[in-house]
Amino acid sequence: MKSGIERTDVVIVGAGFTGLSAALELKKAGVDFLLLEARDRVGGRVESMEIGLGERVDSGGQFLCEDMPELMALVEARGKTLVETYVKGEFITQPRMSAQQADRAYLGSMAIRDRMNAIAPDEPDIAGLTVAVWLDRQPDPDQAKAAFRSMIEGLWCQALEKLPLWHLIDNDRRITNEVSELQYFVRETMQSLADDLAGDLGDRVRLNTPVETIEHGPEGVRLVSAMGVVEARSALVAVPPMTASKLDFAPPLPAGLRRALGVWQSGAVIKVLVRYPSAFWRARGLSGVVMWRDLPGLFACDVSKDNDHAALVVFVGGPLALRWRELGDTALRAEVTTRLKDALGTEAADMLDFSYRDWTHDRWSGGGYSDLIVDATATDAERIILAGAQPLHFAASELSPSFPGYIEGAVMAGRIAARKIISGLQSAIATSASGS
């Protein structure tokens, strides 16, 4: 175990893709840094696990698409293999609908989403409205509304009753992909990409180092952990807002910043991976994509790496995840199996392996896929957090100008924060050199 005091220019808290990207930017600029991570691995909400068959699969963030240029460039630069997600064939809705009804419901839900995004986030008429209240006022058919709720609660993993309408609009407008976000996944796992990035940082990454206290003042920062003390000129807190709100700052953060960090709540998701002897659904002309209208937030799709690795991933999001997390292993497997059999037939019960990752109360990230503002009055929360409080800086995928809540957003957020810190350090050096 290390002890004593280490000194550096910048200390980063959190080695998810935000922290890793910031660290690589600092390294490129020749700025000394340390990256502290509470877990025994890097990646944050990107994670892999070994299933019963001895295979390693993504148990956290997994998908990407060609409209995510920063992440796509990293995947290519690190020599990763992209697997195109299988989407050919019929899309299943549960309870069952005819293909025509399903198309109407889907198109209707997208029309609601487009109508929502046509509203300005600062429109006075929507002040204080939740998404649920706004949706209830819309004239659309119930089937379209149900599909919209399932889609939103599945994507954002939060109850519509908690989501301020302005925040969802602002969030959704920054997610600009025109092709499906499920277009690709990485054969070697997305976690392997995080490991590669960390490998470039060498011994500047410290795992198993949860920060106990962040002391801060005009002269810099002092981070205390069980591994020792790190003193730095500035700190970047590169964790989700809700996680940042739980850190011990001394002295306490300014009241406005404390409130801005405290208005977020983590989404809830359970990610299930089911391996099969074969992709039986494909032989029946099915894509493997299933959306449950009667269970908002439940969604499945094909994540087979090849013919020898047939698999479905099932996402349980939002309020449904909070209910199902109480079931226990056996009952959760039975619930998922029953739903898959109803949708895809009896072969869905012929599983080689059933594995899942419950992110709903994760110790270090709070949940998945991202945090969301749940206070309708907190319209300036992001701006306040991004402004920070010198010498403290904050960054997270949630705060990214593009793809908030996605790995792409995390990469961008880390780079932007690092460049801001570099600029500040350079200005301080220039001021010192001029003697002013």
From first to last of its 436 residues, the chain has per-residue pLDDT tens of: 455 799 999 999 999 999 999 999 999 999 999 999 999 999 999 999 999 999 999 999 999 999 999 999 999 999 999 999 999 999 899 998 887 888 899 899 999 999 999 999 999 999 999 999 999 999 999 999 999 999 999 999 999 999 999 999 999 999 999 999 999 999 999 999 999 999 999 999 999 999 999 999 999 999 999 899 999 999 999 999 999 999 999 999 999 999 999 999 999 999 999 999 999 999 999 999 999 988 999 999 999 999 899 999 999 999 999 999 999 999 999 999 999 999 999 999 999 999 999 999 899 998 888 999 999 999 999 999 999 999 999 999 999 999 999 999 999 999 999 999 999 998 776 665 556 5
Contact 359, 365 (CB under 8 A): yes
Contact 12, 34 (CB under 8 A): yes
- Is residue 76 part of an annotated ligand binding site? no
pLDDT the model gives residue 427: 78
What are the strands, taking DSSP E only, across 203-309? 205-206, 211-217, 220-225, 228-237, 249-250, 264-266, 269-276, 286-292, 298-302
- Is residue 417 part of an annotated ligand binding site? no
Give the model confidence (pLDDT) of 361-378 as tens digits: 899 998 888 999 999 999
Per the structure block, which two tokens stand in for 72?
């796509």
Residues of the chain with CATH 3.90.660.10: 88-179+268-358
In angstroms, the CA 21 to CA 397 distance is 11
- Is residue 70 part of an annotated ligand binding site? no
pTM of the model: 0.96
CATH level 3 topology of 5-48+188-264+373-434: FAD/NAD(P)-binding domain (3.50.50)
- Is residue 18 part of an annotated ligand binding site? yes
> Residues in the chain, how many?
436
Angle, helix 142-156 to helix 165-173, in steps of 10 degrees = 70
Angle, helix 99-117 to helix 165-173, in steps of 10 degrees = 100
Contact 417, 393 (CB under 8 A): yes
Residues of the chain with CATH 3.50.50.60: 5-48+188-264+373-434
- Is residue 398 part of an annotated ligand binding site? yes
Contact 298, 274 (CB under 8 A): no
Instruction: Summarize the chain as % helix, strand, coil (round to 5).
Output: 40, 25, 35
In angstroms, the CA 83 to CA 192 distance is 15
In angstroms, the CA 78 to CA 74 distance is 6
- Beta pairing class for 205-206 and 90-94: unpaired
pLDDT the model gives residue 401: 98
CATH level 3 topology of 88-179+268-358: Polyamine Oxidase; Chain A, domain 2 (3.90.660)
Per the structure block, which two tokens stand in for 47?
């994670």
- Is residue 176 part of an annotated ligand binding site? no
pLDDT the model gives residue 1: 42
